[in-house]
Amino acid sequence: MMATIQAENIRNIALIGHSGEGKTTLAEAILFNTKAIDRQGRVDDGNSTMDYTQEEITKKISISLAMANCSYKGTKINLIDVPGDFDFAGELVQAMAPVDSALIVTSASGSMTVGTEKAIDYCITNKIPAMIFVSGLDKENADFNGTTNAIVDKYPTKVTPLFIPVIKGGFEGFVNVVDGKYYNVGDEDNGLDIPSVLTSQVEEDRAKVLESAAESDDALMEKFFEEGDLSQEEIELGIKKGIANCTTIPVYGGSAALNKGITNLLNKLVANMPSPADRDVIAKDTKGQDVVIKCDSDGPVVLRVFKTMVDPFVGRLSYIKLLSGTLKSGIILKNATKDSEEKISSIYFVKGKKQEATDSISAGDMGALAKLNTPTTGDVLSEGRELVMEPIQMPAPVLSMAVYASKKGEEDKIFAGLSRLKDEDISFAVVKNPETNEMLISGVGENHLDILCKKLKNKFGVDAVLKEPRIAYKETIKGKAQAEGKHKKQSGGAGQFGVAVIVFEPGAADGMYEFCDEVVGGAVPRQFIPAVDKGLKEAVKKGMLAGYPMINIKCHLIDGKSHPVDSKEIAFVSAAKLAYEEAVPKAHPILLEPIYVLKVTVPESFMGDILGDLNKRRGKVLGMEAIEGKQVISAEVPMAEITKYATDLRSMTQGRGTFTLAFERYDEVPASATVKIIEDAKKRATEEE
């Protein structure tokens, strides 16, 4: 592979779309057609280039982004195969950071999948040039027209089919709408006259293509209005500009599994997709000023790490895109984010799990660097200056589970393994919940967390167990009660004696414990007052109903007794605890549960389902608001009812819904739920003993 290829002859393309729609299979077909690989592997057989980890081979789905490169007609194509499962949305974000365009892959199912819709929305929102490839045209009941019509109905001004398949018991050929020629599968460079039965459809589709091409350029628009037509060259120019401007998303098709329509696709990728030279990148210097980075091989070296992988033989691999300059071994680059320097040693081009050593990489190209010390995903390394770019915004973790070691004593191995996995996957988090003392692992969904556990087993030999996290309940009192705590101990020699009379009542609703010294006449010597306070502070850590912390409680020390010899600090600490244990059960103790503000964003068609579901979860709807074509529902919901809301919302909305959570306050637990919470707490306490 040429390291010195010019940026104009590079195409950096991400394959994105719904899970199971054939992205990895298409990548395999492209690599085979360009002779980058000598046989076309299959996902089901576990021998594809892009799905190579043990977890991917077992599950038969893509889990991490994978990269490969090939050459076609003097153009280098860097492909990034992106997982379509919504649980691995973090891989999509990382993959889209370095590419210059996206190929959205969908099956010919006759409808638009959620993943296709989300992929198109992502490209439109983030201004990423895109094409659509409808695969599986050789499958029984393949419906190209139904699929494209569904997509066009949703995006009438964006999506433009340029391809009409001819299917007679199988995918035999296609019509190129732009040049009006028919092509047989297997001879995709030699155009023939179109079948007469397709004439009217070609004319109809060509009229739409003319409008799309004209709208991309003022000069073309003017000519179209004047003459009502454009030449083939002008249409192709308009389509190319429309792709670059993100106003046109053309549609092509074929069968990746049977290697049909791939040559036509490759021709379009090379001819119409933008190169890295077509747009500049904006970074910032140490003063926060914008710096325009030109994709120039003769410029200073600037690169960005967009993914970190751990190879069992090479070690830590940093996937990079070279934004400027020519990268060679031995160069020293600055990392402003980590305030460090890196000496570049081993440079590779990547093809799935294989690394191809190279002496250099030129501007616009992508590759991998081995054994960098400090850089992590998103960091910028630059020559002679310090530059940074906006962090890669990963999707927020929405599902948290408590993580335990299946074997006692292996907890440290679990967390050490998760720390190493964090190098590869920055979309999950591990934190300790100070309220429950559980270690929580938070990710994008159940499948995401399940795969992390499998990686722990496969890579580090430790079994992790996931459990629903404990809810951070609290306890308080609604009534008032008084008790005398008396601690008396005599076992030879100096004894222990202390009496504390304390009144307990509800305190301010701020979650605080409050202590009031109201002793008169020295009934409790001044030096022992802090001991009573200390005893109460220890006591309120554990409520009398289920052992949850006591909050919003006010304690009045009103009286007590002491002994001139036997009274000690420890005696009054114990007396305070005894008073607490006697009085609280009489003061109408109750359980409190955390209440969160839940904001759910969904298409309007799902409003009824969401509102009905919130009602079942004891939710209180606060309001609804239309934002950018979707409905945002705000509600207060107990945390106990939404521990797996990420999974449930995805099921209810077919993956179209999103949500955010923010803690609001604590509220009283309904009596109907209190008994079970207490029983569960007692059961857990017994098990822990």
* Bridge partners (DSSP) listed for residue 192: 182
Do 86 and 151 belong to one domain? yes
Residue 556 near residue 529 (C-beta atoms within 8 A): no
- Return d(Cα 533, Cα 523) in angstroms, integer: 16
Q: Is residue 81 part of a domain?
A: yes
Show the domain range for 449: 399-467
Q: How far is CA 494 from CA 490, 523, 576, 682, in A?
A: 7, 21, 21, 38
Check which CATH number belongs to the domain holding 119 and give it: 3.40.50.300
- Return d(Cα 213, Cα 195) in angstroms, integer: 25
Q: Is residue 186 part of a domain?
A: yes
Do 425 and 523 belong to one domain? no
Of the candidates 436, 467, 498, which is a domain's last residue?
467
Do 414 and 306 belong to one domain? no
Do 118 and 165 belong to one domain? yes
Q: Is residue 439 part of a domain?
A: yes
Say which amino acid occupies 203.
Answer: E
Residues of the chain below pLDDT 50: 1-2
Do 513 and 628 belong to one domain? no
Q: How far is CA 553 from CA 94, 155, 514, 529, 556, in A?
A: 49, 59, 6, 18, 10
Q: Is residue 232 part of a domain?
A: no
Extract the tokens encoding 613: 């579901």
Check which CATH number belongs to the domain holding 418 and give it: 3.30.70.870
The DSSP result for 103-152, as a single string, is EEEEE-BSS--HHHHHHHHHHHHTT--EEEEEE-TTSTT-BHHHHHHHHH
Q: How far is CA 365 from the centre of its chain?
A: 26
* Bridge partners (DSSP) listed for residue 497: 488
- Return d(Cα 90, Cα 310) in angstroms, integer: 17
Check which CATH number belongs to the domain holding 570 and give it: 3.30.230.10
Q: Is residue 233 part of a domain?
A: no
Residue 636: is it exposed, middle or buried by C-beta count within 10 angstroms (0-12/13-18/19+)? middle
Give residue 227's pLDDT.
Answer: 87
- Return d(Cα 478, Cα 343) in angstroms, integer: 66
Q: Find the farthest-apart pair of alpha carbons in the chain and give their distance in angstroms, rounded.
A: 115
Q: How far is CA 295 from CA 344, 385, 471, 610, in A?
A: 20, 17, 52, 48
Do 377 and 433 belong to one domain? no
Give residue 492's pLDDT.
Answer: 65
Check which CATH number belongs to the domain holding 643 and give it: 3.30.70.240
Domains held by the chain: number: 5
pTM: 0.88
Residue 635: is it exposed, middle or buried by C-beta count within 10 angstroms (0-12/13-18/19+)? buried
Give residue 249's pLDDT.
Answer: 97
Q: Is residue 303 part of a domain?
A: yes
Q: Which residue's structure tokens are 């001044």?
A: 526
Of the candidates 553, 587, 621, which is a domain's last residue?
587
Q: How far is CA 406 from CA 86, 197, 448, 463, 687, in A?
A: 28, 66, 19, 6, 15
Give residue 521's pLDDT.
Answer: 87
If one counts every other C-beta atom within 10 angstroms of the C-beta of residue 79, the result is 28
* Bridge partners (DSSP) listed for residue 326: 362
Residue 87 near residue 443 (C-beta atoms within 8 A): yes
Of the candidates 330, 356, 382, which is a domain's last residue?
382
Q: What DSSP designation does 471 have?
A: P
